Amino acid sequence: MIARHGIGAAAFAFLGVFGADAAIAESPDCFPFGSWLDNLGPDVDVPLGKVNDLSPRVRFVKLGVLQKGCPNSSAVCQDKAYLVPGDEVVVTGSSGEFVCVSYADRKGRTTYGWFPRAAVTRVEDPGAVRKGDWIGEWRSGPESTIRIAPGARPDAFRIEGDATWGALDPGRVERGGVHIGTLEGETQAEGANLSFGMGENGTLPFNEADDVDCKVQMRRLGSYLLVKDNGMCGGANVTFTGLYRRK
């Protein structure tokens, strides 16, 4: 289902429902997907959760910076945004009875915030990733789009992307202050993971690209495309990092 409007940590492991005995990183702060990641390599555990049938509708819980004393189960901490059973989330941290989750709806609109721990169950086996699972146009929020198509070689993908910062600000648009970024490369996936760098002469293996080159890591996880870049893929404040859904 879709999120119903928008509102860090470290890698961790857990079992079944996100119970109190699980080894989840505790933090008083909740951050959106990507902000807590140094990289998105194959060795990094990114937990996928699914809203269970605890309730037909489960509301997000307000961040402490928006409502003093939150998160807690009081009415004052209840947000308007909610999810329903079956919705998938990426879990990025926890605080007591709550987990920090990021969610993207079918239009790529993203929401993050605290969510009742008991309402989320880990997806232990997201399933094998096939080539067709990568193909399509993916969106994250209103300013980032990535298109993945079959490459020139049978085992490769062609990746193109566009991102902006400030395109929703009429003042910036009028004075030409919108910053832009692009992705372009052709590479192979390794299971659910894909990465590459953009050099002066074309695509580079991720580990061979310089720090000043645009470097991107991607992962297919459930219904999502997870993306982490190194902040060098466009103008100031432009990033492809985020949670994407296929259009």
Q: Is the pLDDT of residue 12 over 50?
A: no
Tell me what pLDDT residue 102 has: 96
Residues found in the chain: 247
Per-residue DSSP letter, 172: H
Q: Is the pLDDT of residue 21 over 80?
A: no
The confidence band for 28, taking pLDDT boundaries of 50, 70 and 90, is confident
Query: In which element (H, E) is residue 175 found?
Result: helix 170-175
The Cα 147–Cα 2 span in angstroms is 22
Tell me what pLDDT residue 54 has: 87
Higher pLDDT, 239 or 12: 239
The confidence band for 27, taking pLDDT boundaries of 50, 70 and 90, is confident
Stretch 221-230: mean pLDDT, rounded? 97
Evaluate whether 103 touches 140 at the Cβ level (below 8 Å): no
Which tokens go with 116? 């009742």
The confidence band for 1, taking pLDDT boundaries of 50, 70 and 90, is very low
Mean pLDDT score of the chain, rounded to an integer? 89
Tell me what pLDDT residue 127 has: 85
Tell me what pLDDT residue 8 has: 31
Half-sphere exposure at residue 129, Cβ-oriented, CA atoms within 13 angstroms: 18
Q: pLDDT tens digit string along 168-201? A: 889 999 898 999 999 999 999 999 999 999 998 8
Instruction: Identify which of 238, 243, 228, 244 has the alpha carbon closest to the alpha carbon of residue 166.
Output: 238
Backbone region of residue 111 per phi and psi (left: phi > 0; alpha: psi in -120 to 50; beta: other values): beta
pLDDT > 90 fraction of the chain, expressed in percent and rounded: 78
Range with lowest mean pLDDT among 36-40, 108-112, 202-206: 36-40
Stretch 231-235: mean pLDDT, rounded? 95
Q: pLDDT tens digit string along 126-165? A: 889 999 999 999 999 999 999 999 999 989 999 999 999 9
Tell me what pLDDT residue 58 has: 96
Q: Is the pLDDT of residue 72 over 90?
A: yes
Residue 64's Cβ-count burial label (10 Å; 0-12, 13-18, 19+) is: middle
Higher pLDDT, 213 or 17: 213
Evaluate whether 226 touches 117 at the Cβ level (below 8 Å): no
